[in-house]
Structure 1
């Protein structure tokens, strides 16, 4: 299995990582691997999302929410 060495890591980041690993009862190595996987997954998801066509709802989201709130408030009265 390949190895990765991180040089010149800021002390505050190293301490945060150590604390995070300890709180989760995991090794720092397992914690770093998980963080890298999550970031790569996040990046790939954003990339796929950017490729999707836009959906025209006919109005902006704020307008739709406002309409729903008015309807909800009318039903409560």
Structure 2
């Protein structure tokens, strides 16, 4: 395995890492490695997403979300009335 040394880390970041490691009963190295892996996966996902052409759904996302919420609320209201 390779090693990585981080220089000039701000004291507050170091303290937050130490606190998180202690709180999660883990090492600082494990916390940093997990964060780096998560960030790399996120960046790779964005790169893959950017390779796909945009899809026009004919309606904006906010409208779709509002419709889905309205449907869910109607279903919940029907269940509540039936009880």
Say whether the fold is shared (TM-score over 0.5): yes
User: TM bucket by the smaller chain?
Assistant: 0.7 to 0.9
Give the 3 Å change call, closer, same or farther, for CA 36–67 of structure 1 in structure 2.
closer
The residue correspondences of 1:26-45 to structure 2 (distance < 5 A) are: 26-45=26-45
1:15 paired residue number: 15
2: CA distance between counterparts of 1:38 and 1:66? 31
TM-score normalised by L of structure 1: 0.80
The residue correspondences of 1:1-77 to structure 2 (distance < 5 A) are: 1-68=1-68, 69=70
Number of residue pairs matched by the alignment: 77
Flag structure 1 segments of 5+ consecutive residues without an equivalent. none
2:81 paired residue number: none
1: CA distance between counterparts of 2:33 and 2:47? 21
1: CA distance between counterparts of 2:29 and 2:47? 27
Deviation at 1:49, TM superposition (A): 1.1
Deviation at 1:3, TM superposition (A): 1.2
Flag structure 2 segments of 5+ consecutive residues without an equivalent. 79-83
